[in-house]
Amino acid sequence: MSATTAETSNLPKPKFAQSLLLRLVNWIREEYRTTHYAHIRWKAEKGDARAQYTLGLMCEAGNGVFQTATAAAKWYQKAAFQGIAEAQLALGLKYLYGQGIAKNDAEALLWLRKAAEQGQAEAQFHLGNLYREGRGTTRDLLQACKWYRKAAERNHPQAKQHLQELTSNHPTATAGDTAELRRAA
């Protein structure tokens, strides 16, 4: 048998085998993703709060499903009502920015407060912002300071910066206001 006969034989080429293996791996990955989504959805529909939150994340990222902020907000809300702090934060941010749900500062304040009371630093920071700006509530710099301080204690860098800004002397604040803010911080 000559060298040219061996080269033109009907043996599969290495690229074909690699291509076949890659297709198989991608098929397994897709099957796993679809099965995982179906399992999470089943648990979420049965009322599992963690699964509802996870399904909200999947809907928001488009992982296993079409990406939709409205569906994400729906699942976050179900989990938030069951006390999942991460879902309360996510729902509060959805209301704050009007993503998949009507923008509503008062609802954002409500859900961010629930998450903040459970120790979510990001919620504490956004709650401080709402009080500082008077969105969804009356402007209250003492409450803003309180929530910035709590977030800063959890090493939230922006909260530390905002807290520093609030407690330093501002031309619009009276001496009594500045002293009271420093006590609150």
Same domain, 39 and 77: yes
**Per-residue model confidence (pLDDT) at position 46:** 97
Average pLDDT over residues 94-98: 97
Q: Which of 71, 86, 118 is the last residue of a domain?
A: 118
Same domain, 111 and 177: no
Same domain, 134 and 91: no
Assign 3-class secondary structure to 75-96. Answer: HHHHHHHCCCHHHHHHHHHHHH
**Angstrom distance (rounded) from CA 81 to CA 96:** 17
Q: How many domains does the chain have?
A: 2
Predicted TM-score (pTM) of this structure: 0.77
Average pLDDT over residues 97-112: 97
Q: Has residue 148 got a pLDDT over 80? A: yes
Q: Has residue 141 got a pLDDT over 90? A: yes
Three-state DSSP at 39 gives: helix
Confidence of residue 183 (pLDDT cuts 50, 70, 90): low
Sequence-distant (≥ 6) Cβ neighbours of residue 73 within 8 angstroms: 56, 91, 94, 99, 100, 101
Q: Has residue 171 got a pLDDT over 80? A: no
